[in-house]
């Protein structure tokens, strides 16, 4: 090998090493977070179709270590099986925490064919290494009797998911903080579901938009909100903002004893102007709290 060939080959190896090194550093950033700060991938829904793996690498480089998918098509997410996604995420220092999903009211008999949706979903989530199947949005309700049927349905979903090896939770939006016959919808669902089968994912921004006191909810229903969706809403300006710039009392929430039973924290950004800038800002904001450093 002559000098020129040696130099050219060395330069090529150096370039490859630099690229590989950047990916290693990205994975290290995610691993350093130790599974404490995750992200709902709906936040980057506009970017995933354009560059799926590149988008995930950007998230990993920021330090996010858990991802929550949405809208699984069978066991696939953007043409990746959940098993393949598990491998891809592992290479980036991340894991799948679970997915957002959901169905309308199903027959009381969980052996009915309609229940195959939840049974297959549990298999897909478990295959991806996730633990949670989260319903985002509830069937329309006009009466307390409607809420009773929904609560009974959630109990059955929780039972089916448990048999499938995953856990079931419900994610609120702002409407669930409204009332039906002087009954707060979300609180009714909490009080009338089996805590061993049904958990809740508190989306703070939506909750504040609906007029809720997040600290009171965590105090009144300890252990029922093991999942948090970190978002923020400015009540005066009436818009979603980056974490720490709105009306969600994060410091007071993180100061609660054992943070009200929090097990998993995921960012969901509701703005679109500079999504990666917002996600970076959100991660840096959450790093200040003791819980995220544990």
Which is the CATH superfamily of the domain at 3-293? Answer: Divalent-metal-dependent TIM barrel enzymes (3.20.20.150)
**Average per-residue pLDDT in the chain?**
91
- Token duo for residue 97: 């925490």
- Token duo for residue 248: 């969600």
Within the chain, residue ranges assigned H as helices are 3-32, 52-62, 82-91, 116-127, 144-163, 185-191, 204-209, 214-220, 250-254, 275-286, 290-293
pLDDT band at residue 239 using 50, 70 and 90 as cut-offs: very high
Residues, the chain = 294
Q: What's the pLDDT tens digit per position in 3-54?
A: 344 333 333 333 334 334 445 556 787 877 878 999 999 999 999 999 999 9
Number of CB atoms found within 10 A of residue 252's CB: 12
- Token duo for residue 245: 């710039």
Q: What's the pLDDT tens digit per position in 61-119?
A: 999 999 999 999 889 999 999 999 999 999 999 999 999 999 999 999 999 999 999 99
Per-domain boundaries in the chain? 3-293
Question: Rounded CA gap, 166 and 68, in Å?
Answer: 14
Question: Rounded CA gap, 163 and 119, in Å?
Answer: 9
Question: Rounded CA gap, 201 and 42, in Å?
Answer: 15
pLDDT band at residue 140 using 50, 70 and 90 as cut-offs: confident
Q: Is 219 helix (H, G, I), strand (E, B) or coil?
A: helix
């Amino acid at each position: 090998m002559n000098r020129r060939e040696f130099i050219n080959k060395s330069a090529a190896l150096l370039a490859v090493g630099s690229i590989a090194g950047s990916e290693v550093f990205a994975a290290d950033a995610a691993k350093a977070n130790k599974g404490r700060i995750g992200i709902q991938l709906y936040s980057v829904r506009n970017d995933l179709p354009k560059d799926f793996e590149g988008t995930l690498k950007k998230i990993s480089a920021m330090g996010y270590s858990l991802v929550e998918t949405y809208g699984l098509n069978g066991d696939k997410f953007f043409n990746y099986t959940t098993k393949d996604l598990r491998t891809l995420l592992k290479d980036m220092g991340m894991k799948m925490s679970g997915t957002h999903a959901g169905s309308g009211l199903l027959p009381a008999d969980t052996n009915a064919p309609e229940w195959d949706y939840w049974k297959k979903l549990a298999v897909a989530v478990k295959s991806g290494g996730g633990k949670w199947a989260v319903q985002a949005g509830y069937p329309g309700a006009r009466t307390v009797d409607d809420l009773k049927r929904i609560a009974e349905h959630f109990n059955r979903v929780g039972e089916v998911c448990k048999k499938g090896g995953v856990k079931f939770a419900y994610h609120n939006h702002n409407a669930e903080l409204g009332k039906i016959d002087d009954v707060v919808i979300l609180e009714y669902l909490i009080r009338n579901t089996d805590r061993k089968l049904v958990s809740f994912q508190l989306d703070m921004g939506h909750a504040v938009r609906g007029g809720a006191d997040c600290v009171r909810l965590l105090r009144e229903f300890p252990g029922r909100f093991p999942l948090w969706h970190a978002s923020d809403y400015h009540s005066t300006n009436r818009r979603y903002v980056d974490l720490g710039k709105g009306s969600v009392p994060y410091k007071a929430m993180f100061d609660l004893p054992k943070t009200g039973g929090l097990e998993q924290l995921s960012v969901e950004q509701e703005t679109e102007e500079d999504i990666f800038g917002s996600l970076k800002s959100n991660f840096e904001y959450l790093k200040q709290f003791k819980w995220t450093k544990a």
